[in-house]
Amino acid sequence: MASNWKTKVLVKDLQVAFGLTNPELNAHVIRLSVLYEDLKIELTGSGATEIARLEFYGKSARQQYFIRRTFATLYEFRECFDHLDKSVAFEHVKRRIEQDPDAAKRWNDCVEFFRDPENEQIITDQRHDFGGHFGEKAARAVIKELAQEPGTVIGELEFNRDFTNEKAGMHLRYAEEIAAQAMHRHRGKLTHAEWREKLFTTAKSAFEHAAQAVHVIVICYVWDRFR
Residue 111: the pLDDT is 97
Give the CA dihedral 83, 84, 90, 95, nearest 10 degrees: -130
Mean pLDDT (10-residue bins), the chain, 227 residues: 78 85 89 91 85 78 83 92 95 95 96 96 85 67 77 79 80 74 78 83 92 94 90
Residue 132: the pLDDT is 58
The Cα–Cα gap between 84 and 28 comes to 7
Phi, psi of 21 (to 5 degrees): -140, 160
This prediction's pTM: 0.80
Residue 10: the pLDDT is 86
Q: Identify the H or E element spanning 161.
A: strand 158-162
Residue 128: the pLDDT is 78
Residue 183's nearest CA partner among 170, 169, 193 is 193
Residue 131: the pLDDT is 62
Residue 12: the pLDDT is 85
